Amino acid sequence: MPHGYNGKILRVNLSTGKVAAEEYPDQFYRQYLGGEGVIGYFLLKEVKPGIDPLSPDNKLIFAAGPLTGVPAGGCGRHSVGAKSPLTGGYGEADSGGYWGAELKFAGFDAVIVEGKAEKPVYVYIHDGKAEIKDARHLWGKKALECQNTIREELGDDLIKVAYIGPAGENLVRFANVMNDLDAAAGRTGLGAVMGSKNLKAIACRGHQRVSLAEPDAVKEIAKWIAQNTPITNKGMHDFGTARVVPALQSGGGLPTLNFQLGSIENADKIDGAYMRDTILVKRRACYACPVQCKREVKVDQPYKVNPMYGGPEYETIAAIGSDCGITDLLAISMGNEMINSYGMDSISCGATIAFAMECFENGIISSKDTGGVDLRFGNKEAMLQIIEQIALRQGFGDVLAEGTARAARKIGKGAEQYAMHIKGQELPMHEPRLKQGLGVGYAISPTGADHCHNIHDTVYTDYGPMLSALNPIGIFEPMAANDLSASKIRLLKYYSEFIHLLNSLVCCYFVMSLSLVGFDRLTQLLRSVTGWDTTFFEMLKVGERSVNMARVFNLREGFTAKDDTMPERFFAPHPSGPLKVALDRQAFENGKKIYYDMMGWPNGVPSTGRLAELGIEWAASMLPSK
Amino acid sequence: MPHGYNGKILRVNLSTGKVAAEEYPDQFYRQYLGGEGVIGYFLLKEVKPGIDPLSPDNKLIFAAGPLTGVPAGGCGRHSVGAKSPLTGGYGEADSGGYWGAELKFAGFDAVIVEGKAEKPVYVYIHDGKAEIKDARHLWGKKALECQNTIREELGDDLIKVAYIGPAGENLVRFANVMNDLDAAAGRTGLGAVMGSKNLKAIACRGHQRVSLAEPDAVKEIAKWIAQNTPITNKGMHDFGTARVVPALQSGGGLPTLNFQLGSIENADKIDGAYMRDTILVKRRACYACPVQCKREVKVDQPYKVNPMYGGPEYETIAAIGSDCGITDLLAISMGNEMINSYGMDSISCGATIAFAMECFENGIISSKDTGGVDLRFGNKEAMLQIIEQIALRQGFGDVLAEGTARAARKIGKGAEQYAMHIKGQELPMHEPRLKQGLGVGYAISPTGADHCHNIHDTVYTDYGPMLSALNPIGIFEPMAANDLSASKIRLLKYYSEFIHLLNSLVCCYFVMSLSLVGFDRLTQLLRSVTGWDTTFFEMLKVGERSVNMARVFNLREGFTAKDDTMPERFFAPHPSGPLKVALDRQAFENGKKIYYDMMGWPNGVPSTGRLAELGIEWAASMLPSK
């Protein structure tokens, strides 16, 4: 077994109660690495086409990678995957915190959960062993109580827990799988899959450190990261992810009123600096990370916000804030705690509320439908009220718990025009009229609209460290944010494959930023951890492989190039505000076409040879016949 | 201008007599590097479609690369290119020796020759200047006399000369451009292009050393190469390229009797060991090379062979030897001197003679046609006689000087079945029934059948240094020599792109062998020379870019996937001998299809997006409309 791995994948069958450790050849690890790579492999190989994502036939996979648990900044992440109940396609999300590292310490590289428990259970993994335990007393519990109860009953405060909140139990289609109270495998509704299996949590504890091929070389790189990231990532440290608010606001890229606008009055009351100056009590880090981009906020009045749940990320601030017409950071912080404690994706939750608000404003739904909740833009109390209703599937919340796409179909009356989703997944808080390459990235993403494995055009509009970091892969010239030429699409292809690689390693793209750590050091890190004589060429192929496996998964589920869409709204400019441009339909369609060409996907379908070049020829037989 | 370059490309217009130095942006060098990359660029941009390769409209390009002239083993090479008079498509060949380094020392990175001189001329390039000089007195002269006359009249014995012999003057379609008496840009008939321009030679002399970004780092790598290559390349040093004869003979891969067979009696009389033990007087090296794979042989009886012309390479030994049924090393050495002094490609020349011999044996041509030359297999005197007739286009030689494809059409009577060529270029001395991936490589090569930018399947049939050298790009498992699965085709894609990269750097693939120098050291060398923060990912894209430019060139000239052929002979096994297998037609066709898929070439045509990914979107407009 290669260094960097335990060489053991845990398979837990909740229907039979069987728990087993499986071993795979070294080559398996080198080809798929871990995280998303391993998830793509098992989803394709083991999940039958056409199954109901919320049935026992779905499999829920937790996967660390060779870098997970390595004592270096950025190495505290893991991936979670399943067929998505939100999109009906490939579901995958990544999380920080401490859980992934602890899974490695406990002796496993991944966990495959299959079947369904008769009654609520949780899995306890510790020092190479795993057991299924009763969780009936945990069902209905919010995050903090769930975590603390498990720690107490197992008598170890250092246990790390990945869990679902009530939202996952209630099969909210954008429920997530969280860990460590503020870290989330947020998107594609994986928490509902966990809930459908009656699995409340996976608790980990172990004492095995990650085996390193060249410990001194790893130490050297870790030291470099520790010394440099607090400087280069100073903005992230000081202000957290909400540091981006001012630039987005001034550029017209701050989603507002369900993406009707790109800026909002009082945006300076919801940014990272304002948070720091008002409610921030502490910065938090993931495992081994010197950056500390996570927040801890405390509010006493008018809401009581518990610092244990951290503080709102940018995505949350925009989703339940500006996109709902709300700029009250205290209400947003309250909403953040609720979303975290119920276990939901704050992006999809906020975007679904914003959708409902626009329906409400347009008379498509009324107080009668909402059970009296006055769902107007800017109504923060309504926002908080509906969050709870969604999580508990109470009242109108039961409709919204299905996500915007299904809710819009249920509501009818033209509600679909207000549903800002792609493939059923709600758009994240990045404006595709501002960042147009990201718009194409939204459309072609296998998980539906996603901002993580995507480019953010605005950082490549001029010479500077972000651009010059790409020189080693042949990208040299700045591109306008609304450029959708082949150069931009090439950037999208390369960079998104790079992120899919990071999701297989698994590590953090803030810390492992190209403009900081760079290709060479990342390659060296993987070499030093595993002892492999790998190149960045081979590594980037892992990313490309993941993208192709996810594409095949979706095609097998019936998706076609026609599903690589964009809501109509984005082809018209904001009626007011600083951003004057919209997506051009022809440029957008051409951008997708170029992307397919670059991928070797005629009509959006990977060719057999293309899959074979990536060593996954076996996946070709899974493509639907024409 | 980047380190490693002079930043000057010389343009010589022989029609107008104008000589000018041109400058290109740094980005141009980084994208195309040099050698073949630069040649592909200029051929596409400047050579109009449909021109006669032997007209003044053709352009003949000599290109060094960033590594040419760097004081390290393997760095003494340059490329030559033009539209090929042999294939009618992309023409390119590479040469060792000293000329490329001297071009760099003389202040230029490349020379573009256009138009046609009224009377024979040569170009003298020295220390940043260039002049066109009268060459009427050189016309008709063989190599040695040509070189020496130029050195004498310019008064400098260290002048390096690239030249054509009488064959090039006589527009023999497989005439080559030689330098240093034993080094040849051998294939695709570039000597005929030079002859058509009335250009006898380009002489270089300079005192400018290659500028290095990190001289110490370069020195370190050069030292490593100097210390290690004589050990790892010991077989090449001891026996030269003819070291491969025994293994090919025993495996049935030694082309014999125009590829009718794969082995020949007395093969041990034409191998590298026999040469060493009989006629070898000295080993020769290219610029800065510690390997010394080149031979110098001396024969007094029954032929007088001048050591100045070196000694026969494996390709020559098989082409005018075994493939013609001849195993007399003295006759082969004589033929080698003649071919070198007349300036022809020994592969195409020998293969054309073998073709004629099979026609003769089958009564398709007779002594009447050949003017009395008894062109039977094994007749060494006939072989020597016809070499001269071809070079001078005398008698039946005038027919054969057109190459096998044209000669077969002229001869008619079913002669075409004996013409072992692809796209008009004769097969090199590697048996595609033995090395089947190489067979697919022959078919898809832009220059017609070629063994250099190709794989040699037999070295990947087991674990060992050749295979493990490919681990860093994700290739791990041995493959049978007749395996044509996707794994083999992936190897073909990656490895041939690697060779096209070496042809752009320009450097030697014996010295820069992956199993020796390896990806990392090669990347480091380019970084240290240029100062670029490049990766192997970016570098391999240069190779892929070259392959795509060449493909576009051919498509523009009317080639289609239908021209990616293989002579019928290779689909049936040898009637006797050790090799029992033949190419399987379906596996072969499928191999090509997979290659197209992997390249992103639907129906063999690069997609616009694929070209755009390589930064050559401009080439898409050159593709014929469907």
* pLDDT over threshold 70, residue B604: yes
Residue B209 and residue B355: Cα distance in Å, rounded?
46
Between A92-96, A228-232, B301-305, the lowest mean confidence (pLDDT) is in: A228-232
Mean pLDDT of B18-27: 97
The answer to whether A610 contacts B598, with C-beta atoms less than 8 Å apart, is yes
% of residues, chain B, pLDDT over 90: 97
How sure is the predictor about B317, in pLDDT bands with cuts at 50, 70 and 90? Answer: very high
The answer to whether A615 contacts B493, with C-beta atoms less than 8 Å apart, is no
The answer to whether B600 contacts A597, with C-beta atoms less than 8 Å apart, is yes
What ipTM did this prediction achieve?
A: 0.93
The answer to whether A613 contacts B595, with C-beta atoms less than 8 Å apart, is no
The answer to whether B612 contacts A486, with C-beta atoms less than 8 Å apart, is yes
How sure is the predictor about B626, in pLDDT bands with cuts at 50, 70 and 90? Answer: low
* pLDDT over threshold 80, residue A237: yes
How sure is the predictor about A394, in pLDDT bands with cuts at 50, 70 and 90? Answer: very high
Closest CA to B358 of B341, B375, B379, B372: B375
What's the confidence (pLDDT) of residue A513? 85
* pLDDT over threshold 70, residue A321: yes
* pLDDT, tens digit (0-9, with 9 covering 90-100), for A50-84: 999 999 999 999 999 999 999 999 999 999 999 99
% of residues, chain B, pLDDT over 70: 100
Kindly report the three-state secondary structure assignment for every residue of A464-531.
CHHHHCCHHHCCCCCCCCCCCCHHHHHHHHHHHHHHHHHHHHCCCCCCCCCCCCHHHHHHHHHHHHHC
Q: Please name the residue ranges forming H helices in A209-264.
A: 215-232, 234-239, 245-251
What's the confidence (pLDDT) of residue B123? 98
* pLDDT over threshold 80, residue B531: yes
Amino acid B534 reads T
The answer to whether B608 contacts A597, with C-beta atoms less than 8 Å apart, is yes
Backbone angles phi, psi at A323, to 5 degrees: -65, -20
For A595, the closest of B472, B493, B609 (CB atoms) is B609
For residue A134, give Cα distances in angstroms to A117, A149, A199, A316, B120. 10, 12, 10, 33, 95
The CA dihedral of A311, A316, A321, A327, to the nearest 10 degrees, is 30
How sure is the predictor about B513, in pLDDT bands with cuts at 50, 70 and 90? Answer: confident
* pLDDT over threshold 90, residue B354: yes
Q: Please name the residue ranges forming H helices in B312-464.
A: 314-316, 329-342, 346-361, 367-370, 380-391, 397-400, 403-411, 436-444
* pLDDT over threshold 90, residue B515: no
A115, A196 contact by CB (below 8 A): no
The one-character DSSP state at B295 is: E
* pLDDT over threshold 80, residue A626: no
Residue A22, beta-bridge partner list? A9
Nearest CA in chain A to B591: A609
Give the mean pLDDT of chain A: 97
* pLDDT, tens digit (0-9, with 9 covering 90-100), for A10-27: 999 999 999 999 999 999
- Please tell me the number of Cα atoms within 13 Å of A445 on its side-chain side: 35
What's the confidence (pLDDT) of residue B230? 80
Residues of B in contact with A537 (CB under 8 A): 472-474, 519, 535-537, 540
CA distance B2 to chain A (A): 14
* pLDDT, tens digit (0-9, with 9 covering 90-100), for A2-12: 999 999 999 99
Q: Which residue has the tokens 């979706």?
A: A554
How sure is the predictor about A186, in pLDDT bands with cuts at 50, 70 and 90? Answer: very high
The answer to whether B593 contacts A602, with C-beta atoms less than 8 Å apart, is no
* pLDDT, tens digit (0-9, with 9 covering 90-100), for B225-281: 999 988 878 999 999 999 999 999 999 999 999 999 999 999 999 999 999 999 999
What's the confidence (pLDDT) of residue A1? 84
Strands B280-284 and B294-297: antiparallel
CA angle A475, A478, A479 (to 5 degrees): 105
* pLDDT over threshold 90, residue B577: yes
Q: Collect all residues from A whose CB is shorter than 8 A from any CB in B.
A: 27, 30-31, 471-474, 476, 486-487, 489-490, 493, 519-520, 532-538, 540-541, 593-600, 602, 607-610, 612-613, 615, 617
Residue A502 and residue A155: Cα distance in Å, rounded?
35
How sure is the predictor about A229, in pLDDT bands with cuts at 50, 70 and 90? Answer: confident
Residues of A in contact with B537 (CB under 8 A): 472-474, 519, 535-537, 540
Give the mean pLDDT of chain B: 97
Strands B199-205 and B121-126: parallel
Mean pLDDT of A85-112: 98
What's the confidence (pLDDT) of residue B514? 84
Residues of A in contact with B473 (CB under 8 A): 535, 537-538
Mean pLDDT of A223-240: 90
Residue A87 and residue A424: Cα distance in Å, rounded?
5
* pLDDT over threshold 90, residue B286: yes
What's the confidence (pLDDT) of residue A15? 98
